[in-house]
Structure 1
Amino acid sequence: MPPSGELRFNDLFEAAEHSAVHLEMRDVYGVGDEADDFRHWQETGWRDADPDSAYWAPWVDLISRATSHGVEVRRARVVSEPVTDYIRYEHAGTSVNVNAGEDVRWLARRRAVDLMLPGCDLWIFDGSSVLFNHFTGEGNWADPPLDLRTEPAVVKQCVDAFEAVWSRATPHELYEIH
């Protein structure tokens, strides 16, 4: 999450009572310290997959707290194939997400052509609010980076889009990088 939106995101996430779902649709991101970690992976082929590392521990703690309170956390990634190096990097670290309690699935973009998807990544909390994530073309946080929406029609469209992707997507442990 962006520095200016971190507290707001964490507050929304921690207030979730039943579900927090994330729809990712970009093939490249370039945000924060993740960009440094990605560059390191490109140079060395090594990806930090230690849930206790400084990089992962805050996220693992957030997910673990939520799931221990009964919040279902799901992440769906719509990706172009063949995948970008960035998606290879994400795939290499997804075991940490899964071990923290997230259920992660992957959907090839070509299998989503008949789905009506939102124009940007998003989080849906308890099926009642949507937090849109705004990025620049290079994958950095835009200004403003976040947009919280609670209008029932907007939320329903996003919930329907997420569930459509989810129903077609392949579980992480079965998804093979192409």
Structure 2
Amino acid sequence: MGVRLSGEQWARALHDFERTAFRFECQGTYHEPYEQQALHQYLAGDEPDLTYLRPWLDDVRRGTDAGRRYSRVRLVTDPITDYLRFELAVTPHNEAAGEDVRVLSATCAAQLGPLPGDDFWLFDDRLATVMHFDENEGFQYAEAVTAPDQVARFLEIRERVWDAAVPFREFVMT
């Protein structure tokens, strides 16, 4: 098992990369305590308070202004969960901050062969971090993977899902 990153170590991984940060999101629901109010507001048909998201969006803006690239592929379940509907509704804010977001349908993902069941980040094509979540408390820690042969597996997965996913603006929910 790799080194566990949480707290300040995890924050540094998200902020200290040099060129690229890529995330693969494959959960149908996340249980992040800080998102719950906004999620409930969205589900009630109200405008969600996205205050919790502002620090991330500000970091992305600063990073993209400095020439760094943020990208992600979001796997969408079939049928789509309420949580993923919420995530997709919030995605224009991520894009406006500078993230390049693509969406991968479950049908398309099934045709790609085995994909991981855990989210991960790739930083500068040399550090992969496998995210671990608690069903009630959300994100717990990320497991750092630095061995080149293991990182190569994540690079290959990124290429497969990126090529198969559609840009967010082209994705149509059914």
TM-score (norm 1): 0.87
The equivalent of 1:26 in structure 2 is 27
Mapping for residues 143-158 of structure 1, pairs under 5 Å: 145-158=141-154
The equivalent of 2:118 in structure 1 is 120
Equivalent residue letter for 1:155: V
8 Å Cα contact 1:28/1:139 also seen in 2: no
Q: Which runs of 5+ in 2 are unaligned?
A: none
TM-score (norm 2): 0.89
Larger mean CA deviation between 94-103 and 132-141 belongs to 132-141
CA distance in structure 2 between the aligned counterparts of 1:130 and 1:160, rounded to whole angstroms: 12
RMSD, matched Cα: 1.8
The equivalent of 1:176 in structure 2 is 172
Identity, in percent, stands at 30
Q: Deviations over 1:66-99 (max 9, x none)?
A: 1112111101011112311111100110000000
CA distance in structure 1 between the aligned counterparts of 2:136 and 2:106, rounded to whole angstroms: 19
CA distance in structure 1 between the aligned counterparts of 2:7 and 2:164, rounded to whole angstroms: 31
Pairs aligned (count): 169
CA distance in structure 1 between the aligned counterparts of 2:161 and 2:137, rounded to whole angstroms: 22
How has the CA–CA distance of structure 1 residues 108 and 28 changed in structure 2, closer, same or farther, with 3 Å as cutoff?
A: same
How has the CA–CA distance of structure 1 residues 138 and 164 changed in structure 2, closer, same or farther, with 3 Å as cutoff?
A: farther
Mapping for residues 87-98 of structure 1, pairs under 5 Å: 87-98=84-95
The alpha carbon displacement at 1:139 in A equals: 7.2
Q: Which runs of 5+ in 1 are unaligned?
A: none
CA distance in structure 1 between the aligned counterparts of 2:67 and 2:90, rounded to whole angstroms: 24
8 Å Cα contact 1:40/1:46 also seen in 2: yes
8 Å Cα contact 2:31/2:135 also seen in 1: no
Matched, 1:159 2:158: no
